[in-house]
Amino acid sequence: MNKSVFMAACSVFALSFIAPVFAMGGYGGGGGGGMMGGGMSMDDYSMAVSLIHNQKYAMATAYLNRALKNSPHNANVLNYLGYTHRMLGDYPGSLDFYQRALAVNPDHKGAHEYLGELYLMVHDSASADGQLAELTRLCPDGCEERDVLTKAIADYHAAAHAAATQTAAPAQTAASAPAAASTPATPTQQ
C-alpha cells in the first residue's frame, strides 16, 4: 500500500471517530468547535483528537506539534498540547501550553478548565479556584467546563479532608492509649 493511500485511509478512519465530536463543539477543546481557521489542515488536528479520545497522548502530541507548525496561534491546538502534556506527567510543559492558549484566547473555556485541573494536580487549589472564577464569569448560567472543574475541586477537597482525617486518627488513638507505668520495674531476685 503506498503512503498516500495509507494516509487517506487513516484520515477516513479518524474522521469516522471525530465527526460526532465536531458536531458537539469539540472534544473538550472548548471555544471553537471543529473549524480551525488560520488555514490549518484538519488532518493533523483531527487525528490528534481521535488519538486523545483513545488515550494515546504521546502519539497525539506528535500530530498536535505538526498542527501547531501550520497554525502557531491556534488556542485549540495549544490547549490540547497542554492536555496531552499533563496526561503524560509533564506539568511545566502543560502549564506553558495552557498559558499560551489563554494568551491567544483569554476566554477559552476548555483551557480554563484544564488549567484548573492541572493546578489541582500540583496541589494549588487557590489557583484552581481562580480558574473556576473565570469560568463563572464566562458562563454565569453554567457550562460543561465549569461543571467539570467544580466537581474536580470538590473531589480534591473531599480527598484532602479524608486524608487529613485518616492521618489524624492514628495520632488520636496513640494519645488516648493508657500511659505505661512510670515506676521502674524491680529486678527479679535470684
Q: Please report whether residue 173 resides in a domain.
A: no
170 lies in some domain: no
- Does residue 138 form part of some domain? yes
Which amino acid, 119? Y
Q: What's the mean pLDDT in 140-163?
A: 96
Give domain status of residue 93, yes or no: yes
CATH of the domain at 101: 1.25.40.10
Residue 168 inside a domain? The answer is: no
* Mean pLDDT along residues 60-77: 97
Q: Closest Cα to residue 83, out of 68, 101, 98, 69?
A: 98
More confident residue, 109 or 184: 109
**Cell numbers linked to 161:** 479532608
Per residue in 115-149, pLDDT (tens digit) is 999 999 999 999 999 999 999 999 999 999 999 99
pLDDT tens string 26-50: 444 444 333 444 444 559 999 999 9
Q: Three-state SS for 28? A: coil
Q: Could you tell me if residue 49 is inside a domain?
A: yes
Range of the domain at 66: 12-31+39-160
Classify residue 79: in a domain, yes or no: yes
Q: What percentage of the chain exceeds 70 in pLDDT?
A: 66
| pTM exceeds 0.85 for this model | no
Is there a contact between 52 and 83 (Cβ–Cβ < 8 Å)?
yes
In this structure, what C-alpha cell is assigned to residue 97?
501550553
What is the Cα–Cα distance from 10 to 172, expressed in whole angstroms? 60
The highest-confidence range among 9-18, 54-63, 158-167, 168-177, by mean pLDDT, is 54-63
CA distance linking residue 15 with residue 13, whole number of Å: 6
Predicted confidence band of residue 167 (pLDDT cuts 50, 70, 90): confident
- Total domains present in the chain: 1
Q: Is residue 23 a part of any domain in this protein?
A: yes
E strands within the chain?
Answer: none
pLDDT digit string, tens, across residues 82-100: 999 999 999 999 999 999 9
